[in-house]
């Protein structure tokens, strides 16, 4: 394996393992900023050694063991040595690489949830909570987070730095709260898990369109939350949404890792167990007797797709109505863009194009690649292939995901072929 291939593999391993590393180290040192630094130190050592020695059989265990050694070295040098080093000596023994995977599985599950609640503490602003958690749990760079939320990279970096300092200064506990404090933090935690799942479902950047392990982790954490808060309808709404969306993961890419769009997916390969689970959980949310919230509405939309035996049988009128309800509940240009897609399928592309053209004036969507992508699709359906090609190319220039860029350029090329055919 070449050095560049090794580095790409290490990057992929880091995206998978970093959240577990940081969560486990935060439990040890009780400081999320220090935990991230220690995890990064382990990554640097891996980047130096693995190209020469080869990637170990259990890279996650190797990184955890290395990071723990760095933690203990730090404690030896710190003023808190007597207090914290003794504590680590009692509660966090070093593990061999083979032992880490088995010994820490249960602890890691709890640690990730504790880390989410810690980073969603009310001492932080909502923007800071989201940025910090995407950085720590999803392994996104500040640039990727900035592009996702249409703000500058420096703004995101400042939010993350300030958030870590605030958590340390306020001595925010590394725990899952109970009672009223649990309820107060629930909305922020749900948002973070939702964003975590979405990053796995459609990766912001990189060479892979989906990151299934991230989806699985988000879904597992959601299920744990549903046990902790069984009477919160939006918890069940989010779990239902993730269950149904996860049912399509295996059909979203082909054997080459290339994206397959919803309308082209083989529905017979959708995971029916996950669909049934999702619909059951959605019904549980409804039975709690409160109006459907944003996650439950999105789950209802997803259920419409899941219950249709073919793309042609999809109830697009109902989906458009649900998106309309979602837009009224949580106004957002991205929700409006999804509504426009549903309007196109239900009532034709001409009406939808009017909605999208209005969204073109929205400053926050200037760098959102799905806006020109949707507009291109509508133009192509109307036979305006030259305009569609230009929009597909613009969308391809904006996206940071390699697979998505390839798909958009392929669709642009199809527009060129269609233009020649019509001529």
CA distance 105 to 107: 6
Mean pLDDT of the chain: 86
Which has the minimum average pLDDT: 52-56, 201-205, 288-292, 412-416? 201-205
pLDDT for 133 equals: 79
**Which pair of structure tokens corresponds to residue 302?**
């997803």
CA distance 386 to 419: 7
- Over pLDDT 90: what percentage of the chain? 48
CA distance 411 to 396: 10
pLDDT for 203 equals: 82
Give one word for 292, left, alpha or beta, with left for phi > 0 and alpha for psi -120 to 50: beta
pLDDT of 100 above 60: no
CA distance 287 to 183: 19
- For residue range 67-96, what is the model confidence (pLDDT) as tens digits? 988 888 887 776 555 555 455 555 554 444
pLDDT of 184 above 90: no
CA distance 2 to 186: 46
pLDDT of 146 above 50: yes
- For residue range 4-61, what is the model confidence (pLDDT) as tens digits? 778 888 887 887 788 888 888 888 888 888 888 999 999 999 998 998 888 998 998 8
Kindly report the pTM of this predicted structure.
0.76
Residue with tokens 């999702």: 278
pLDDT of 147 above 80: no
pLDDT for 80 equals: 53
CA distance 140 to 357: 31
């Amino acid at each position: 394996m070449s050095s560049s291939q090794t580095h790409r593999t290490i990057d992929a391993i880091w995206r998978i393992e970093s959240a577990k590393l940081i969560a486990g180290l935060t439990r040890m040192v009780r400081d999320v900023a220090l935990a991230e630094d220690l995890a990064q130190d382990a990554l640097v050592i891996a980047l130096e050694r693995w190209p020469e020695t080869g990637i170990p059989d259990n890279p996650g265990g190797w990184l955890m063991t290395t990071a723990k050694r760095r933690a203990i070295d730090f404690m030896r040098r710190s003023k808190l040595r007597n207090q914290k080093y003794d504590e680590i000596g009692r509660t966090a023994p070093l593990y061999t690489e083979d032992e880490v995977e088995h010994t820490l599985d249960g602890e890691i599950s709890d640690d990730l949830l504790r880390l989410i609640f810690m980073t969603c503490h009310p001492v932080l602003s909502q923007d800071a909570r989201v940025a910090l958690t995407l950085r720590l749990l999803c392994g996104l760079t500040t640039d990727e987070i900035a592009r996702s939320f249409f703000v500058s990279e420096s703004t995101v970096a400042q939010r993350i730095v300030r958030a870590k300092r605030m958590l340390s200064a306020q001595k925010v506990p590394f725990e899952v709260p109970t009672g009223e404090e649990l309820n107060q933090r629930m909305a922020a935690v749900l948002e973070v898990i939702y964003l975590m799942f979405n990053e796995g479902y459609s990766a912001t950047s990189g060479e892979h369109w989906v990151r299934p392990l991230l989806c699985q982790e988000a879904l597992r954490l959601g299920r744990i939350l549903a046990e902790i808060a069984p009477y919160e309808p939006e918890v069940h709404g989010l779990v239902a949404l993730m269950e149904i969306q996860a049912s399509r993961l295996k059909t979203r890419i082909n054997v080459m890792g290339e994206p397959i769009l919803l309308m082209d997916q083989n529905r017979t390969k959708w995971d029916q167990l996950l669909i049934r689970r999702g619909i059951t959980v959605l019904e549980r949310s409804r039975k709690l007797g409160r109006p459907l919230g944003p996650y439950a509405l999105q789950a209802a939309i997803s259920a419409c797709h899941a219950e249709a035996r073919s793309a042609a049988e999809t109830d697009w009128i109902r989906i458009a109505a649900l998106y309309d309800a979602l837009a009224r509940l949580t106004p957002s240009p991205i929700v409006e863009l999804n509504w426009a897609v549903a309007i196109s399928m239900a009532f034709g592309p001409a009406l939808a194009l009017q909605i999208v053209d209005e969204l073109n004036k929205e400053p926050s969507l200037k760098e959102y690649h799905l806006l020109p992508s949707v507009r291109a699709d509508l133009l192509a359906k109307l036979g305006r292939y030259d305009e569609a090609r230009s929009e597909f190319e613009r969308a391809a220039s904006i996206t940071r995901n390699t697979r998505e860029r390839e798909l958009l350029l392929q669709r642009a090329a199809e527009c060129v072929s269609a233009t020649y055919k019509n001529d």
